[in-house]
Structure 1
Amino acid sequence: MRIKNLKIEIRPLDSFVEETIRAFEDVQGGKGIAPREALIFPDVRTLRKVLSEKRLELLRTVKNKKPDSIYELAKLLDRPLRAVQHDVKVLSELGLIEVERTRRKPRDKVRPSVPYRRITIEIGI
C-alpha cells in the first residue's frame, strides 16, 4: 500500500463533464494526461451525507488506532457493529478505506486501513 494524498472536490457536474471531454480530446490528439486521484461531489449536501461526522471519526480511528478487525473498530468507536460494517462498506466503495481479508480461526477477519496521509477538500466557486 502506497501512502498518498487525496483531493475531494465539490463542483457542478457540467464542470466535471467539460474536463473529461478535454482530457479525452487530449488523448485522441496524442497528448498525455497526468493521472490524479480525486473524489468529486456535485454539492456540499452530498459530501456531508457521505462524509458524516461518524464516518470522519471512523476514518481517523482507523488511521490512528489501526484496528485488526471491524469488530475491534466498533469497540473503539463505541458503536454497533452493523452500523460500523455499513460505514466501512460505503467508505471502501469510495476508496477512502481499504479492507484486507485475513484468514484466522475461528473465522475470517476484515482489517480496515486508510491509504491516505492527507485528504483535502477543494470547493470550486
Structure 2
Amino acid sequence: MTTNTLHITVESTAAFFEAALDDVRQLEADEDLEDESVLSLPDEEALERVLSEKNLELIRTIATEEPASVRELARLVDRDIKNVSTALNRLAELGLVDLEDEGRAKRPTVWYDHIEIDIQVTPDETDDSDVALV
C-alpha cells in the first residue's frame, strides 16, 4: 500500500525562498526534484491555526468517511454548514483539502493519509532575525 504524505514545515521566509531557489537551480541543471508536497508556514501560530482540533476533525472525517458534499460533512461532524464551509475554503486555499464540483454540491477530498511536521528548534547560524539580544 502506497502512503501519500503531506509535509508541513515551519520556516522563516528567507528559508522558504532559499529552498525555492534550490529547486529552481536543480530544474535548470536538469536534475530531478524530490516528489513531495510541502506546505510552508511562517510560525507555530499559523501551524496551530491550520491544524486546529476542529480542522483535523474535518480532515480525518473527509479521509475516512468520504462525504459526498460539504453538507454531509457538516452532518458527520455535527457542525453548522456555514462554519464547515468557511473552514474548508481556508483549507482548500492552503492545499490541504480539494473541493470537487459534483453538480451543485462540492465534494471535499484529501489526497494524503499522513501529515509530517518539520519544526526547527535551534536557530539557523546565518539567520539572526529570530535571535533576541538581552
- TM-score normalised over the length of structure 2: 0.79
The yes-or-no answer on 1:123 pairing with 2:115 is no
> Percent of aligned pairs with the same residue?
33
For 2:70 and 2:18, how far apart are their aligned partners in 1? 40
- Partners of 1:27 and 1:73 lie apart in 2 by 40
Comparing both chains, which one has the higher relative contact order based on Cα–Cα distances under 8 Å and sequence gaps of 6 or more? Answer: 1
Runs of 4+ in 1 over 6 A off after TM superposition: none
* Structure 2 partner of 1:92: 92
Contact between 1:4 and 1:118, CA under 8 Å: does it hold in 2?
yes
Aligned pairs for 1:1-125 (under 5 A) are 4-103=4-103, 108-125=104-121
Matched residues in 1 for 2:26 and 2:58: separation?
39
In the TM superposition, residue 30 of structure 1 has moved relative to its aligned partner by 4.5
- Where 1:101 maps in the other structure, the secondary structure is strand
* Aligned partners of 1:98 and 1:114 also within 8 Å: yes
**Paired AA for residue 56 in structure 1:** L
Unaligned runs of 5+ in 2: 122-134
How many residue pairs are counted as aligned between the two chains? 120
SS at 1:90 equivalent: helix
Give the unaligned 5+ runs of structure 1.
none
Q: Which residue of 1 aligns with 2:132?
A: none
Deviation of 1:29 after TM superposition, in Å, equals 4.1
SS for the counterpart of 2:113 is strand
Under a length normalisation based on structure 1, what TM-score does the superposition of the two structures give?
Answer: 0.84
Tell me how far apart the structure 2 counterparts of residues 65 and 26 of structure 1 sit (CA, whole Å).
Answer: 39
Q: How far does the alpha carbon of each residue in 1:31-77 deviate from its partner, in whole angstroms, 9 at most, with x for none?
A: 44334210011111111122221111111111111111111111111
